[in-house]
Chain A
Amino acid sequence: MNALAANHLGRRKRTDLVFRVLAAASAVMVLLALLLILGTILWKSVPALSLSMLTRTPKGGFYLGREGGILNAIVGSVYLALGATALALLLSLPVVLYLNVYKGRTSKTAVWTRFFLDVLWGVPSIVIGAFGFVIMLALGLRASLLAGILTVALLEFPIMSRAIDEVMRLVPRELKDASASLGATRFETAVKVLVRQTAPGILTGVLLAMGRGIGDAASVLFTAGFTDRVPGSLADPAATLPLAIFFQLGTPFPEVQERAYASAAILTLIILVISLAARAMNRKVNRHVVK
Chain B
Amino acid sequence: MNGDSPISIRNLSVLYGDHLALKDVSLDIPAKRITSIIGPSGCGKTTLLKSLNRLLDTDDGVRVRGQVLLDGEDIYAPRTEVTRIRRKMGLLSQRPQVLPMSIYDNVAYGPRIHGLRSRKELNERVERYLRLAGLWDEVEGRLREPASLLSVGQQQRLCLARGLAVEPEIILGDEPTSALDPQSSQNVERRLLELKRDYTVIVVTHILRQARRIADHIAFLYLGELVEQGPAAEVFAAPKDPRTRAYLTGEIS
Contact = CB atoms under 8 A, between A and B. Distances in A.
The 9 closest A-B pairs by CB, nearest first: A183-B87, A104-B60, A181-B91, A178-B97, A182-B110, A197-B100, A196-B100, A288-B100, A183-B83
A180 B159 CA distance: 13
Interface string A257-291: 00000000000000000000000000000011111
Which size class do B's interface residues fall under?
A: 20 to 34
B230 to A, nearest CB: 28
Interface string A181-198: 111110010001100110
B131 interface: no
Contact of B99 (A106, A173, A179, A185): A179
Given A106-B61, A178-B91, A289-B148, A184 B101 contact: no
A290 B147 contact: yes
Contact of B162 (A176, A182, A288, A291): A182
Given A105-B60, A288-B146, A289-B148, A184 B97 contact: no
Contacts of A182: 86-87, 90, 109-110, 113, 162-163, 166
- Size band of the interface chain A makes with B: 20 to 34
Nearest to B96: A178
Contacts of B185: none
A288 B91 contact: no
* Chain B interface helix/strand/loop/mixed: mixed
A290 B113 contact: no
Interface of A: 104-107, 172-185, 188, 192-193, 196-197, 287-291
Contact of B110 (A183, A185, A287, A288): A183
B195 to A, nearest CB: 17
Contacts of B87: 182-183
Contacts of B146: 287-288
Interface string B150-191: 000000000100110010000000000000000000000000
